[in-house]
C-alpha cells in the first residue's frame, strides 16, 4: 500500500539552467542490450513551470497556474485530462495517477527511478518536503518516469503584500517553481 508521505532528498541541486529541449528517438534501440547496459535516457519533455495558488494580493483569480501536464509540458486550468501536477496550499499532488518517490541518489536517473519499489511511491509531496533543491522521481499520468527538482518555494507569509493576508495564509504555499524532465 503506497504511503502518503515522502522522505525528502538531502540533495542541494544548483542546476537552475534551462532544461534540455525535447529529443526524439532515432533509429537506435532504447531498450537494454544483451550486455546489461541500462536503458538510454531519451527525453520526452522537459520544462520549468511556475505553479501558483494565490497572487501577491491573496486572491485566487482562477488564472493561476496550479495544474501542469508534464508529458505535454503545458499549463492546465483544471485536473481533468492528462494533468500530472496540482499545487494546493499545503502540498504538490500527483493527479490522474502521477506519483512521486525520493530518489536513491541526488541526481535521479531513469534506471534508478524505474527500480524504485512500488511501496515507496506517493501521490503527495507536502510543503515541508518541497525545499529548494529537493529532488523527486516521478511517474507521470501516461506512465513515463521522470525527475523533478524544486527550484523555488514561496510560502504565503513571505510572498503576500498585506499583513492581514500573510497572517491568514501562514503556512500555505503561494508559489512553487520546479524543473522537470520526463523520459520516453
In a domain, 86, yes or no: yes
Q: How many domains does the chain have?
A: 1
In a domain, 9, yes or no: no
Domain of residue 118: give its range: 43-183
What tens digit of pLDDT does each residue of 112-130 get?
999 999 999 999 999 999 9
What tens digit of pLDDT does each residue of 58-86 get?
887 666 678 999 999 998 877 777 799 99
In a domain, 101, yes or no: yes
pTM, 2 dp: 0.75
In a domain, 78, yes or no: yes
pLDDT of residue 46: 94
In a domain, 137, yes or no: yes
In a domain, 123, yes or no: yes
* 18 to 52, 74, 106: CA distances (angstroms): 20, 16, 19
What tens digit of pLDDT does each residue of 16-60 get?
333 333 322 222 333 333 345 556 789 999 999 999 988 888 887
In a domain, 172, yes or no: yes
In a domain, 153, yes or no: yes
Report d(CA 165, CA 170) in Å as an integer. Answer: 8
pLDDT of residue 38: 57
Amino acid at each position: 500500500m503506497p504511503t502518503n508521505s515522502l522522505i525528502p532528498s538531502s540533495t542541494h541541486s544548483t542546476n537552475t539552467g534551462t532544461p534540455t529541449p525535447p529529443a526524439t528517438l532515432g533509429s537506435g534501440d532504447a531498450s537494454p542490450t544483451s550486455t546489461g547496459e541500462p536503458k538510454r535516457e531519451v527525453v520526452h519533455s522537459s520544462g520549468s513551470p511556475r505553479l501558483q495558488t494565490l497572487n501577491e494580493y491573496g486572491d485566487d483569480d482562477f488564472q493561476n497556474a496550479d495544474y501542469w501536464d508534464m508529458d505535454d509540458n503545458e499549463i492546465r486550468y483544471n485536473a481533468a485530462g492528462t494533468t500530472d501536477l496540482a499545487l494546493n496550499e499545503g502540498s504538490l499532488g500527483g493527479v490522474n495517477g502521477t506519483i512521486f518517490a525520493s530518489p536513491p541518489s541526488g541526481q535521479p536517473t531513469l534506471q534508478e527511478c524505474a527500480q524504485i519499489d512500488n511501496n515507496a511511491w506517493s501521490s503527495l509531496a507536502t510543503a515541508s518536503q518541497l525545499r529548494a533543491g529537493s529532488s523527486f522521481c516521478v511517474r507521470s499520468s501516461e506512465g513515463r518516469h521522470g525527475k523533478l527538482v524544486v527550484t523555488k518555494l514561496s510560502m504565503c507569509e513571505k510572498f503576500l503584500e498585506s499583513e492581514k493576508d500573510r497572517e491568514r495564509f501562514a503556512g500555505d504555499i503561494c508559489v512553487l517553481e520546479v524543473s522537470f524532465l520526463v523520459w520516453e
